[in-house]
Structure 1
């Protein structure tokens, strides 16, 4: 089946997203584990990804958890340090696809405010042909609605989409709709996938 468009997740595909790593540096692994056990910070982040205001959501969580007030606020005040660095090999593959005229879409769980910060730090986020960002859509992966809306708005049939994401549940949801999928683990494996689909010749791959 000929692929008409490639769909990329952003976190841990184009940009490393490892909040625990940041907090390990800030406070040590033992204290970080204790804080993450007491506060569901990833649920807080999911709310931002569904469109809630970034600053107020994080600061409210800080107030609700006074023992960790300052540390929780780091999620907002130092967010770019949680979402870094970029993965240069993946960025090169994005650009190689677009140079060959392959449409490339972003499909990412990302807040409105956090995406604004990321766009400023990572100019390549402006290079997609289309972007489907959960905060603006009000729905996150792996909800079937977000995939259906990409299909409808892009006009590309599910079986002609090739999607990569680092989370198995997001891949499974896309595969259930008939998308071609690749579980992202390393840029090198993603490169081989693109070559196998005839989207990049080896000489053009990063």
Structure 2
């Protein structure tokens, strides 16, 4: 059987791994902030980039978040919010994991993520290293982050196939567009069905 692709490149956060911000949102509301404010500061321009490229430590990143929140709330409250942000529980979507494991029977599956140097220890409790640990392209380790074209080329290299024979899955449209510009088949992930449809031509 001839397949339309020879590898699957897949994002992690908001595709495989999800965060439960319930407790953080409660604390933010108690401080008079909109839920999501801490994350908005944490992932704003100039704050998360150095972390995701492996240029600074997580502790320095957290100090940057504290500075970004100070002015909105007192410093002690900002530090409480950042501590809660760092303790946010996570879960893996078992349906997505199973779809990717089925795909692994036929083609290489490479996880491509903007993450920190601590990614491996974060994924191990979720059981993800056991399935994908030998094929993860982490921005903090390669020094470039999505949507930089170099991280996509590195992922294709890890998969061992040309970019135009890769399917790339991500929840962020700009990342999908960057992959498509390299000839990859882009899949904008918004729900599990988006991934299922992309993989439906695989046997079984």
Q: Same fold (TM over 0.5)?
A: yes
**Segment drifting more, 62-71 vs 125-134:** 62-71
Which one of 108, 121, 135 corresponds to residue 125 of structure 2?
121
- Paired position in structure 2 for 1:69: 79
| Equivalent runs, 1:143-182 vs 2, <5 Å | 143-182=148-187
Look up the SS of the partner of 2:16 in the other structure. coil
Taking the aligned partners of 1:180 and 1:61, their CA distance within structure 2 comes to 35
**Segment drifting more, 40-49 vs 6-15:** 40-49
Structure-2 change in CA distance of 1:183 and 1:35 (3 Å): closer
| Equivalent runs, 1:25-174 vs 2, <5 Å | 25-28=26-29, 31-33=32-34, 36=37, 40-43=41-44, 44-51=47-54, 52-59=56-63, 61-62=65-66, 65=70, 66=75, 67-76=77-86, 78-79=87-88, 81=89, 84-98=90-104, 100-113=105-118, 115-128=119-132, 129-174=134-179
Which one of 4, 14, 17 corresponds to residue 16 of structure 2?
14
Give 1:30 shift. 7.7
Q: TM-score, normalised by structure 2?
A: 0.81
Taking the aligned partners of 1:189 and 1:61, their CA distance within structure 2 comes to 33
Taking the aligned partners of 1:63 and 1:177, their CA distance within structure 2 comes to 38
Look up the SS of the partner of 1:6 in the other structure. strand
**Alignment coverage as a number of residue pairs:** 192
RMSD: 2.7
Q: Is the 8 A contact 1:9 1:107 kept in 2?
A: yes
Structure-2 change in CA distance of 1:72 and 1:194 (3 Å): same
Q: Which has the higher helix share?
A: 1
Give 1:192 shift. 1.9
Taking the aligned partners of 1:200 and 1:163, their CA distance within structure 2 comes to 19
- CA deviations on 1:101-133 (whole Å, 9 max, x unpaired) are 3210010111112x1342232112331251101
Taking the aligned partners of 1:92 and 1:45, their CA distance within structure 2 comes to 30
Q: TM-score, normalised by structure 1?
A: 0.80
- Structure 1: state its 5+ residue gaps: 202-206
